[in-house]
């Protein structure tokens, strides 16, 4: 188990063909940081459990901005699979230019499960536990229309009824 006790990013991946697997990660308090920041190409984050400490119940807008994973801009062919993320401001922030697949994760008790910011990633087979997320998948204004996000009804269906917030014009 990795137990974070300082305001830093414990895992920063900048190389290629790296797998982060089988870790349990948490922190003593909610730090304004992600547990994993990942860039490069052909990297995998799979089979991990990442959770934050308790924060005041609601509103989640007041929660400290801690995240399980943040992709670096232009991360290529990233696979995030079979992880459990909970009790954080967001499960994953997906930065512009990121490509890849977010598959089979369980995300709950977040303000936003997947925050998609100008990325083109396939999001499928994810599920949402209890307590529920405020939003399961949020598409920011600069997210492209069309595949892999549209139609939104399919995106929701392929992600176990995900609640999707579409901020695109």
Write the pLDDT tens digit of every residue in 30-44: 999 999 999 999 999
Distances (CA, A) of 77 to 40, 42, 43: 9, 5, 7
Taking residues 56-62, report their average pLDDT.
Answer: 81
Count structural domains, the chain.
1
pLDDT of residue 106: 98
3 state SS of 35: strand
Q: What is the mean pLDDT of the chain?
A: 96
Confidence of residue 59 (pLDDT cuts 50, 70, 90): confident
Q: Distance between CA atoms of 72 and 13, rounded to whole angstroms?
A: 9
Which structural domain range is residue 67 located in?
A: 2-166
pLDDT of residue 61: 84
Q: Distance between CA atoms of 21 and 107, rounded to whole angstroms?
A: 17
The enclosing H or E element of 5 equals: none
Q: Across the chain, which distance is largest between two alpha carbons, in Å?
A: 42
Dump pLDDT digits (tens) for 75-91.
Answer: 999 999 999 999 999 99
- In this model, does residue 58 exceed pLDDT 90? no
Q: Is the pTM of this model over 0.75?
A: yes
pLDDT of residue 57: 75
């Amino acid at each position: 188990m990795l137990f974070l006790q300082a305001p830093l990013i414990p895992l920063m991946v900048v190389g290629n063909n790296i797998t982060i697997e089988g870790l349990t990660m948490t922190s003593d308090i909610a730090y304004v940081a992600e547990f994993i920041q990942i860039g490069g190409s052909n990297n995998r984050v799979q089979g991990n459990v990442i959770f934050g400490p308790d924060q005041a119940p609601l509103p989640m807008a007041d929660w400290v901005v801690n995240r399980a994973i943040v992709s670096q801009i232009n991360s290529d062919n990233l696979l995030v699979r079979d992880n459990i993320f909970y009790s954080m401001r967001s499960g994953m922030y997906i930065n512009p230019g990121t490509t890849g697949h977010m598959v089979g994760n369980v995300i709950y008790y977040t303000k936003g499960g997947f925050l998609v910011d100008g990325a083109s990633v396939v999001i499928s087979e994810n599920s949402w536990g209890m307590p529920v997320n405020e939003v399961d998948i949020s598409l920011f204004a600069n997210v492209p229309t069309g595949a892999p996000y549209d139609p939104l009804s399919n995106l929701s269906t392929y992600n176990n009824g995900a609640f999707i917030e579409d901020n695109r014009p």
